[in-house]
Structure 1
Amino acid sequence: MDKNIRKANVSDLARITDIYNWAVENTTASFDINSHTIEQRTEWFAEHDDRHPLIVYELEGKVVGYASLSEFRSKEAYDSTCEMSVYVDHEYHNRGIGKALIEEIIKLGKDNGFHVIISVISADNYISIEIHKKFGFVLCGDIKQVAFKFGRYLDCLFYQLFI
């Protein structure tokens, strides 16, 4: 594991929330429209366990990115599939942090017995699409105009990786 990556602690929740809220307010990386409070993110945090990990990237004592594996769907037949999310503080983009987080979360997914990792990406999030392709994710679905954010309809792309 990269020396800057570790399992997230509840004390990281404020920074994780700040990173996520910036993406909500400024990008289509998240399909949320409204920012979240720390209380709202506490339930999400609690959903992550040893099988569905939440990891952070820390530089000089500051959390600057995070990645998670979440339940893909609640039906038991989906237990071998998970959904990946990765967010990096916008002030730390283009430093290899996202790449390091993806490498580690894929490894954890494999170690935890998952067969497939899914990522749901806005069709206009070209950087995310390209980094997913570099890791071997392939497009497996394209749903047109199913999200509405920033005054326009967005297409959702589903990418998958067999691990």
Structure 2
Amino acid sequence: MKLEFTPIQETDLPKVKGIYDWYIANSTATFHTEPISLEELKELLYFNHHLYHSFLIYADDELAGYCFTTHFKKRQAYNRTAEVTIYLKDGFGGKGIGKKSLYFLEEKARVNGIKNLLGIITGDNTGSISLFQKCGYFECANFKNVGEKFGKILDVVAYQKEI
């Protein structure tokens, strides 16, 4: 499978929103419970930032998802650390796309001088937890019972990798 990563442009936001809206409606991978606007989505992603990047993921020329790095915290002393996120379209999981996307983001972060990556994951998202573990991330925090969605009380776990 040929993977291609293209920087997300503002004109791509409806594609990204379609993917993210699926997760809002069908999973606990995000704690949003209602669809977000394109303006709200624009606040989550970076365009032409010197440290943080957002990419569409194409598998064999078909849109398979998106991935990005973002601030861990918006304070300058944290600029050595970034949060990494990957959302694949329904049907694209289990094909190695997540792993290749994570390694791609790691390399981009490394080039930009980022030293630590964090994956912030819902505690029942076993697929994402497994992905991060397979890629060398270790659990560094577990926030108990911090969210509620679909009538379930949910933990959030943090995974870290020093790159």
TM-score by length of 1: 0.91
Over 3 Å counting, the alpha-carbon distance change for 1:44 and 1:3 in structure 2 is: same
Deviations 1:84-122 (A, max 9, x none): 110000122222221221110011111111111111111
Match of 1:140? 140
C-alpha contact 1:54 1:68 (8 A) present in aligned 2: yes
Instruction: Tell me the SS of whatever aligns to 2:136.
Output: coil
Match of 1:14? 14
CA distance in 2, matches of 1:45, 1:140: 25
Q: Which moved more, 1:80-89 or 1:92-101?
A: 92-101
For residues 41-80 of structure 1, the aligned pairs below 5 Å read: 41-46=41-46, 49-59=49-59, 61-80=61-80
Deviations 1:38-58 (A, max 9, x none): 232123334662310001112
Match of 1:38? 38
Root-mean-square deviation over aligned CA pairs: 1.7
C-alpha contact 1:4 1:58 (8 A) present in aligned 2: yes
Q: CA deviation at 1:7?
A: 1.5
Instruction: Tell me the SS of whatever aligns to 1:67.
Output: strand
Match of 1:129? 129
C-alpha contact 1:48 1:70 (8 A) present in aligned 2: no
After TM superposition, which residue ranges in structure 1, 4 or more long, deviate above 6 angstroms? none
Instruction: Please list every run of 5 or more consecutive structure 1 residues that lacks an aligned counterpart in the other structure.
Output: none
Match of 2:151? 151
Deviations 1:101-151 (A, max 9, x none): 111001111111111111111111001000101110000011100111111
Instruction: Tell me the SS of whatever aligns to 1:91.
Output: coil
TM-score by length of 2: 0.91
CA distance in 1, matches of 2:16, 2:47: 15
CA distance in 1, matches of 2:151, 2:124: 14
Instruction: Tell me the SS of whatever aligns to 2:49.
Output: coil
CA distance in 2, matches of 1:94, 1:149: 24
